[in-house]
């Protein structure tokens, strides 16, 4: 067996690169199997059973039905170090009809792995396979989290509730990204994704004849004032360096062209990056809605649901990923992402329990039209699987070596 003291990071890196290359055909097979059999959020029964089977065959301690349909695989180290490093991947697909012409395209009508979670699951399994081969030199445990229901931003919460973060000192995650070329990764210090909250408003006016507005309270007009005031108030009362996006995506109300509407329901999503801004959003929105409604005599009800906070990457762990990827692939393959995204990721719920980082894995083919995530023709360059596995495995090994 290899001796921890005598082995250098460089020879270990070569070893895991070779292991990952040997595993590549098997990993492509796994990815295609998962891709062909996608399951919606919270219904990942077959995927979970498949993942659990592969983890067990690598000798990991496996727990199923964690966080409803999630799977946890624990790779036991020597136990000298009590820290546990968690590696999180997600397993769910989207309600999209696949339009690719791939041999392994979805066999389930209306359901597709259009966000690359098939690739994430495969990379999680590949990393477990590689690290299982060098388990004798791991001082502590590595916990592989295969999470359900990321697309509805619920799975991470279910997993955390079931205790998967117990004893976890740090957590790593990744997401495929079609605008980064295959072979490269993107890291970002600080905010990676936005906080996403749900907003629902009921505006209650008073019905009346369409010809006599002065005898009614027009809920549609007041709803329009509320929307306009909120959008303008973002620009005039909020720090422009701390962005907010408020999108009302649904509006319902009214019964007939000549009847003034007495009730309107609005619902939308609210995105923000700065934790302080996020904290103050419900009160700020409530104040504006209240003042508009009071001015025109309407009543209102507001439901504000904080869905997920912003992913704030830990500087030390981000640096470790950056160094690991630079050693593995060279400096020109590691992009420092200049901007965060206003998309959301429930990975942030793990970060409320322990520091960690999420990086972006390039899957785009240079010179090709690379469809965006959630597109019915979304596809990846499968050589990204090895890039993901080696980057995660090498980061994990450096984590233990550098303390
Ligand atoms: Ni995704």
pLDDT in tens, 348-368: 999 999 999 999 999 999 888
Neighbours of 174 (CB within 10 A): 27
Q: Give distance in angstroms: CA of 177 to centre of ligand 1.
A: 9
Q: What is the rounded average pLDDT for all residues in the chain?
A: 95
The answer as to whether 3 is a domain residue is no
Q: Which of 17, 7, 15 is nearest to 391 (CA)?
A: 17
Given a cut of 90, whether residue 402 has pLDDT beyond it is: no
Q: How many domains does the chain have?
A: 2
Q: Give distance in angstroms: CA of 230 to centre of ligand 1.
A: 29
Q: Give distance in angstroms: CA of 175 to centre of ligand 1.
A: 7
- The SS3 call for residue 266 is strand
Q: Are residues 140 and 212 in the same domain?
A: no
Q: Give distance in angstroms: CA of 182 to centre of ligand 1.
A: 17
Confidence of residue 9 (pLDDT cuts 50, 70, 90): low
The pTM for the full model equals 0.90
In angstroms, the CA 86 to CA 279 distance is: 28
Q: Give distance in angstroms: CA of 242 to centre of ligand 1.
A: 24
Q: Domain with 235 in it: what CATH number?
A: 3.30.70.360
The answer as to whether 45 is a domain residue is yes
Confidence of residue 400 (pLDDT cuts 50, 70, 90): confident
Q: Are residues 211 and 304 in the same domain?
A: yes
Q: Give distance in angstroms: CA of 323 to centre of ligand 1.
A: 25
How far is CA 351 from its chain centroid? 12
Q: Give distance in angstroms: CA of 151 to centre of ligand 1.
A: 7
Q: Domain with 47 in it: what CATH number?
A: 3.40.630.10
Given a cut of 50, whether residue 3 has pLDDT beyond it is: no
- Contact in structure between 244 and 271 (CB atoms under 8 Å): yes
Give, rounded to a whole angstrom, the gap between the first and last alpha carbons of the chain: 22
Q: Are residues 66 and 56 in the same domain?
A: yes
From 254, 287, 308, the end of a domain falls on 308
The β-bridge partners of 167 are none
Residues around the ion ligand 1 (C-beta < 5 A): 115
From 308, 330, 348, the end of a domain falls on 308
| 13-38 pLDDT tens trace | 999 999 999 999 999 999 999 999 99
- Contact in structure between 121 and 90 (CB atoms under 8 Å): yes
Q: Give distance in angstroms: CA of 358 to centre of ligand 1.
A: 12
Q: Give distance in angstroms: CA of 89 to centre of ligand 1.
A: 10
| 142-184 pLDDT tens trace | 999 999 999 999 999 999 999 999 999 999 999 999 999 999 9
Token digits for 20? 């990952």
Q: Are residues 107 and 181 in the same domain?
A: yes
The answer as to whether 2 is a domain residue is no
Domain that holds residue 101: 9-191+310-402
């Amino acid at each position: 067996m290899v001796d921890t003291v005598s082995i250098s990071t460089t020879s270990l890196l070569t070893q895991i690169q070779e292991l990952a290359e040997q595993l590549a055909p098997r990993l492509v097979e796994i990815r295609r199997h998962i891709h062909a059999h996608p399951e919606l959020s919270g219904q990942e029964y077959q995927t979970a059973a498949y993942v659990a089977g592969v983890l067990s065959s690598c000798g990991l301690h496996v727990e199923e039905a964690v966080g409803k349909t999630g799977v946890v695989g624990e790779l036991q180290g020597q136990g000298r170090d009590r820290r546990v490093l968690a590696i999180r991947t997600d397993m769910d697909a989207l309600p999209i009809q696949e339009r690719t012409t791939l041999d392994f395209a979805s066999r389930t009508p209306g359901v597709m792995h259009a966000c690359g979670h098939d690739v994430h699951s495969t990379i999680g399994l590949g990393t477990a396979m590689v690290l299982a081969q060098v388990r004798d030199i791991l001082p502590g445990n590595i916990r592989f989290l295969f999470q359900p229901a990321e697309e509805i931003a619920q799975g991470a919460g279910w997993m955390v509730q079931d205790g998967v973060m117990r004893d976890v000192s740090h957590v790593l995650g990744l997401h495929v990204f079609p605008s980064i070329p295959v072979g490269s990764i993107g890291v970002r210090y600080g905010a990676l994704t936005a906080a996403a909250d749900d907003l629902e408003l009921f505006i209650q006016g008073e019905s009346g004849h369409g010809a006599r507005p002065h005898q009614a309270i027009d809920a549609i007009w007041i709803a329009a004032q509320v929307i306009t005031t909120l959008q303008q108030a973002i620009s005039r009362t909020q720090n422009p360096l701390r962005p907010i996006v408020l999108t009302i995506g649904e509006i319902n109300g009214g019964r007939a062209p000549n009847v003034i509407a007495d009730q309107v329901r609005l619902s939308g999503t609210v995105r923000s990056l700065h934790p302080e801004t996020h904290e103050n959003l419900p009160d700020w929105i409530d104040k504006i809605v209240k003042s508009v409604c009071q001015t025109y005599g309407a009543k209102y009800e507001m439901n504000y649901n904080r869905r997920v906070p912003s992913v704030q990457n830990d500087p030390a762990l981000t640096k470790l990923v950056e160094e690991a990827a630079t050693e593995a692939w060279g400096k020109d393959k590691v992009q420092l992402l200049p901007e965060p995204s206003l998309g959301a990721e429930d990975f942030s719920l793990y970060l409320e329990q322990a520091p960690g980082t999420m990086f972006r894995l390039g899957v785009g083919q240079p010179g090709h039209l690379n469809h965006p995530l959630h597109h019915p023709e979304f596809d990846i360059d499968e050589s990204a699987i090895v890039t993901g596995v080696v980057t995660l495995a090498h980061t994990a090994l450096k984590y233990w070596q550098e303390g």
